Amino acid sequence: MLVSVIVPHYNRHDLLLRCLNALRQQHFGDFEIVLVDDGSTDPTLSELQPLFSVWPRLRRLVFSDNRGRAAARNAGLALARGELVIFLDADMDVGPDFVAEHWRFYVAQGAGWIGQGRIIGTQDPAIRPMPSLWTDASCARFATGNVSVAREILLRLGGFDEAFSGYGFEDLELGYRLMQAGWRSA
């Protein structure tokens, strides 16, 4: 297995179905999807049940209660078999080359992780890169809505810090640890 796409979700069945449909259209063959249901109380599980019998690359883990983003991502990481792990939020809609492009950058760049980049393909003069006030703020690009990391690196660093609760910062903190360990983004 080359790539594992980890999709944690909580009460987002409508958006999750759209995300999964986009992942079904991928042009990359050797990947799995690890769904981590973080204690959803909506009809997510019943609506997804038919997919598991017809799509063997789909795997899942279900928590009985909501344990938070970091715990859900770590549980997905423990279940993942891929050399490269892509974290994708359930409300993301991706193109058909999404997985292939992550793999291509991982192989070509030799980077520890591939993070979010700048906005490209826009002609709007109001959108422009802002000057950096920091010498290296690359860890700020480690936002788990769309980021990939070599699984071995994540395991070595201990995954996400589950002491973070609520929304956010567990990803930036892991990005900081990646940077401190000498890993750079592509």
DSSP letter for each residue of 32-51: EEEEEEES--SSHHHHHHHH
Q: Tell me how crowded residue 148 is: count the other CB atoms within 10 A of its CB.
A: 29
**pTM of the predicted model, to two decimals?**
0.83
Task: Output the pLDDT for position 153.
Answer: 93
Contact 119, 127 (CB under 8 A): yes
| Residues in the chain with pLDDT values less than 70 | 1, 111, 116-143, 166-168, 186
Task: Output the pLDDT for position 136.
Answer: 45
Task: Output the pLDDT for position 172.
Answer: 82
Cα diameter, the chain: 51
Task: Output the pLDDT for position 116.
Answer: 62
* Domains of the chain, CATH where assigned: 3-120+127-180 (3.90.550.10)
Query: Beta strands 31-38 and 3-9: pairing type?
Result: parallel
Task: Output the pLDDT for position 23.
Answer: 94
Task: Output the pLDDT for position 178.
Answer: 87
Contact 138, 174 (CB under 8 A): no
Query: What type of residue sits at position 91?
Result: D
Task: Output the pLDDT for position 141.
Answer: 56
